[in-house]
Amino acid sequence: MLAVAMAFASCNRRAQLLYMQDISIMQETPFVTPPTYRLKPGDVLYIQLVTPSPEISQMFNNPSGIQYFGQNRDEASLYLQGYSIDAEGNINLPFLGKTTVGGLSIQEAQEAVQQKTELMYKDASVIVKMANYKITLLGEVRRPGNIRNFNDNINIFEALANVGDLTENGDRRNVLVVRSSSDGNRTIRLNLNDRSVLSSEAFYLLPNDVVIVEPIGNKVFQMNLPYVNLTLSSISTIILLYNFITRL
């Protein structure tokens, strides 16, 4: 009976599975704008030059002449055709040379490349995008792993939807976000059960963020429940043997 009672106590409550449960039917919530990501060494940029001359555009956009995967722009081709930022914060562009983009936003990096391009080519337009916008999700999610984002930003709920949401044993009240910065790694806690998550600095995720969903205490108990049952069974057996022996 004790084991059965503990098993029922370990069941997840409905409130543990609800997101932002303190929001009424109509309620305004403070709006948080997506943070500005500053480019760092190791980031990969996809850069495309568009000019009135197809020959010039082709030489800049694909100087090797190799067709990666039919130019479908999948993840591998974006990386192979991208430009990595070196330790000094520079990228080395064909015919244009080195351009410093470390510490800049994507928009600022595009403007820096545009200015350098205009010194050589008239009426040219430059497109700059992140090619390695990656988020890692671990712990109590249905499909742990990395997801690639091809939009300008992504929020915590969109990221969780990409991995099939949290499991029933995920602790929605204490989700950990690990974020790298110039000063080292920062940790931010999110309570997905509360509407305050909408105004958190980690509501919008940045490239290379790591999201860790910890298990609720019930799961730990459920994992140990077989050992608890075995212990109780052993105690019951010992008591029965003791009563049997003392009555002989």
CATH fold for domain 44-130: wza like fold (3.30.1950)
Per-residue confidence (pLDDT) for residue 70, from 0 to 100: 41
pLDDT at residue 67 is higher than 90: no
Report how far residue 162's alpha carbon sits from residue 154's, in angstroms, rounded to the nearest whole number: 11
Mean pLDDT to the nearest integer, 163-186: 91
What sign results for the dihedral spanned by CA atoms 96, 36, 75, 42? Answer: positive
Alpha-carbon distance 8 to 54, whole Å? 70
Q: Residue 71 — pLDDT band, cuts 50, 70, 90? A: very low
**Could you tell me whether strands 90-93 and 83-84 are parallel, antiparallel, or unpaired per DSSP bridges?**
unpaired
Nearest to 102 by CA among 91, 94, 115: 91
136, amino acid identity = T
Of all residues in the chain, the percent with pLDDT exceeding 90 is: 44
Does 3.10.560.10 match the CATH number of domain 2-30+133-218? Answer: yes
Model-level pTM?
0.74
Q: How is 184-221 classified by DSSP, letter by letter?
A: EEEEEEE-TTSGGGGGSTTSEE-TT-EEEEEEPHHHHH
List pLDDT tens digits, range 147-173: 999 888 999 999 999 999 999 899 999
pLDDT for position 103 = 93
- Where are the domain boundaries for CATH 3.30.1950.10 in the chain? 44-130
- CA torsion 191-196-200-203 (nearest 10°) is 70
Q: Mean pLDDT, to the nearest integer, of 94-122?
A: 91
Q: What is the distance of C-alpha 234 from the center of its chain?
A: 46
Start-end ranges of CATH 3.10.560.10 in the chain? 2-30+133-218
Instruction: Over range 129-146, report the average pLDDT.
Output: 94
Residue 99 has pLDDT above 70, yes or no: yes
Element (DSSP H or E) covering residue 17: none
Q: Where are the alpha helices (DSSP H) in 94-145?
A: 106-118
Distance CA 153, CA 180 (A): 17
Least confident stretch, 36-45, 200-209, 221-230:
221-230
pLDDT value for 53: 79
**Look-up of token digits 């205009």:** 118
Give the total residue count for the chain: 248
The neighbour count for residue 218, using CB atoms within 10 Å, is 17
Between residues 23 and 41, the one the model is more confident about: 41
